[in-house]
A and B are shown apart, each in its own frame.
Chain A
């Protein structure tokens, strides 16, 4: 019994650790200069999300959470990066440095404030809802992931990092979701995962079209309308 209790504490701690590393990966997406590094941080973040799902699904065994973890690993860790690398080859590999609206140290500090705000706002809410255990760890982390993804979306000028910000937001929502609603039907998870792929595909194709038309993918600087044929 003692041993079992110990094991449960280790699992809870590991889940919290996955949460901490999840936030750090989100900060990596906010603050790295290179598109490839951004993509790698996104993959890492998805791995930590899957890890959290597996850890939560292991102790009271839940096939749903296991399925969520597995779907995550397949779509976000393997398939999506492959798709992006294929669709946007020159974007991922040849462009090394990407521009940001706010400088990196400043945006890290802003990101930190967002993280603290996520903890600050979610705790009273969790108390009021009477949730204990895993939601206490997962909900603030997920909310922080959501905010940091939104910040990435606002801060980046390039199309691909913006897409990664959007996907990071989705990761954050999932991270909170697996603790609040662990018994979501698998069909919903599958539909979501499939939606994500469609999203990535559409944005990828769109980015390619923009690149062909305008010669850049810095969509943040495309502010003026222009009629076709008029130079």
Chain B
């Protein structure tokens, strides 16, 4: 029992420790593709160190929401980490605290508070970014729900650890059409939710075009560090869910021993590296969509998600 608790805490440490690295590798690879040299892959750690050792300035007009938000944004992905299979393929201590819908709710809570805090300071760009994030968010909501419906329909569960087992057991499950279509829809969701390129440009700082970046403009010092780190962890957690629960449910520790669990860490990192290379490929070959074309992107994702549930419903009814 104590081991399960320890492993669960270890998961959190892995996510906290390696999420800046993933972001660093991603931005470095993108710069290399654009034939620039780019910052070191350790740059996010240095940014965090710098921000944590700086003073914090809080706008006079802001309310308690502005002060509380960094902590919520930082803690929300940590909560979700307790629920998902990062290193092991058997349920850990806190695994049954909430299912995928609950995890999505906790992540959305962080986003909600970030949007509130952006409005709170009355900075002209904050509310604009917040309202755009909400627009993408409410377009993403039905897709999230349909994806969860499909998962629970196919795997008879919404607990991530159990869903993950579903694709492994007979290998033919992996090739179910609903599974593959689900993957496409979920990938589009990740791109939208984390403001990656067809929806938003993460490296752009042009005020009128930004969606995701404008929300933490007002933060400085520790607040900014927590907001940034929280955002990176959210990205890392979404990647882990995509890889470990849906796309590649292999290579996780299956025994309750330190050796297996520690061996799972490099395997996870390799998987994430491959995914990041794929993401760099997407980001370098597509252009950012205009704001009002985002709805087309999202409706495409929605349609794919609905077809995923259609095919699964009818293959089950058809009795093969």
Which of B170, B176, B184, B310 is the one whose CB lies under 8 Å from A116? B310
Residues in A with CB closer than 8 Å to B171 are 6, 10
Q: Which of A10, A13, A20, A111 meets B308, CB within 8 Å?
A: A20
Q: How does the 8 Å CB contact mask read for B276-320 relative to A, with 1 for contact and 0 for none? A: 000000000000000000011001101110111011001101111
Which chain A residues border B180 with CB–CB below 8 Å?
17, 20-21
Q: From residue A103, how far is it (CB to closest CB) to chain B in Å?
A: 9
Partner of A6, one of B172, B310, B318: B172
Interface string of B49-66 (1 = CB under 8 A from A): 000000000000000000
The interface centre, meaning the residue of B170, B304, B310 with most chain A CB atoms within 10 A of its CB, is B310
Determine if B206 is an interface residue (Cβ-Cβ < 8 Å).
no
Interface pair B295/A20, CB less than 8 Å apart? no
**A residues within 8 A CB of B311?**
16, 19-20
Contact with A along B145-172 (1 / 0, CB 8 A): 0000000000000000000000000111
Contact A136 B318 (CB under 8 A): yes
Q: Is the CB of B176 within 8 A of A31?
A: no
**Bound-complex Cα distance A140 to B314 (A):** 9
Of the candidates B172, B295, B304, B317, which one forms a contact with A9 in the assembled complex, judged by CB atoms under 8 Å apart?
B172
Complex: A17 Cα to B308 Cα, angstroms:
10
Dominant secondary structure at the B interface: helix
How many Å lie between the Cα of A112 and that of B299 in the bound state?
10
Instruction: Please tell me if B181 contacts chain A, counting CB pairs below 8 Å.
Output: yes
Query: Is A193 at the interface (CB under 8 A from chain B)?
Result: no
CB distance from A221 to the nearest CB of B (A): 23
Number of interface residues of B (CB under 8 A): 29
Q: How far is the CA of A35 from the CA of B318 in the complex (A)?
A: 37
- Closest CB in chain B relative to A78 CB, distance in Å: 25
Is the pair A13, B176 in contact by a Cβ cutoff of 8 Å? yes
* Cα of A105 to Cα of B301 in the assembled complex, Å: 11
B137 within 8 A of A: no
One digit per residue, 1 when the CB lies within 8 angstroms of any chain B CB and 0 when it does not, for chain A 126-144 equals 0000001100110010000
| A109 and B299 form a contact (CB under 8 A) | yes
* Known contacts A17-B180, A19-B177, A20-B311; A132/B303 CB under 8 A: no
Q: A118's closest neighbor in chain B, by CB?
A: B310
The answer to whether A123 touches B317 (Cβ under 8 A) is: yes
Most buried by B among A20, A109, A137: A20
The verdict on B175 contacting chain A, using a C-beta distance below 8 Å, is yes
**What residues of B have a CB within 8 angstroms of the CB of A14 in the complex?**
175
Tell me how far the C-beta of A86 lies from the nearest C-beta in chain B, rounded to whole angstroms. 27
Q: How far is the CB of A42 from chain B (nearest CB, A)?
A: 17
Render B171-201 as a binary contact track against A, CB cut-off 8 A, 1 for contact: 1110111101100100000000000000000
Question: Given contacts A19-B177, A24-B181, A31-B300, are A9 and B306 in contact (CB under 8 A)?
Answer: no
Measured CB to CB, the closest approach of chain B to A105, in angstroms, equals: 4
> Complex: how many Å from CA A24 to CA B311?
12
A108 CA to B181 CA in the complex, in Å?
Answer: 17
B307 to chain A, nearest CB (A): 6
C-alpha gap A136/B172 in the complex (Å)? 18
Q: Which of B170, B178, B181, B314 contacts A136 (CB 8 A)?
A: B314
A132 to B318, CA, bound (A): 7
- The residues of B that contact A136 with a CB separation of less than 8 Å are 314-315, 318
- Bound-complex Cα distance A20 to B304 (A): 9
Does A152 sit at the interface, judged by CB under 8 A?
A: no
Given contacts A19-B311, A21-B177, 18 further A-B contacts (CB under 8 A): A6-B172, A9-B172, A10-B172, A13-B176, A17-B181, A20-B308, A21-B181, A23-B307, A24-B303, A24-B307, A109-B303, A112-B307, A123-B317, A132-B319, A133-B320, A136-B315, A137-B314, A140-B314
Residues in A lying within 8 Å of B, measured CB to CB: 6, 9-10, 12-14, 16-17, 19-21, 23-24, 27, 31, 104-105, 108-109, 111-112, 115-116, 119, 123, 132-133, 136-137, 140
Closest 9 CB pairs of A and B: A136-B318, A20-B177, A9-B172, A17-B177, A13-B175, A16-B177, A105-B299, A10-B172, A108-B299
